[in-house]
Structure 1
């Protein structure tokens, strides 16, 4: 079903890959892209469980918008191993205005398709989603 605001559908593969990340932990991250011609959100890249945060951020283009999900493992002050699923709306200042508008208008509906997101971040440059930011938001 297409999103009323932007007319974008969500490809089934997006939900399938997200469920794999959430339930089976077979992926560390997923980068999603809006295919304007096909009018849908698709999976662009999937990260292996062994890949780290630097591998993930390297997958985000410098001047194009993306959605991404990152499974962040951390240890609490009480020494408990935990994990948080981050949803990141990547919208760099250098990306096209039309692209930013499409991503912004599709974001809420797309997020609803991915049941289990725990933390949301909006980033326009890498400093807004640095590892320090992720760590502080995880707790």
Structure 2
């Protein structure tokens, strides 16, 4: 993580790469415990931005205070875990606030081009700093 000191706010940026859906439960739990420790040690008045590859699908159903109106597809187990983490830490998934053009809906394509996965990359911010949905 990096802490950017600014006026009037300070921003702590945390970059993550969550375990894939094939990871064992212990690895996933270790990831979230470590991430929670980072969030807990961040000064309370900082804006927190957590970004990068969550390996999660949060689905298309908006959740008040957590997601906007433009999530994609069906939620998976990793998405459930991410949403729970966001809820517990008053975090908002900002890129669900914006409708994306079709060419930007996929964040991963298999090496042979056969499989495409809709957005598994998210930017989450401390609640209250998120754009309105």
TM-score past 0.5 threshold: no
TM-score (normalizing by structure 1): 0.28
TM-score (normalizing by structure 2): 0.29
- Name the one with the larger strand percent: 1
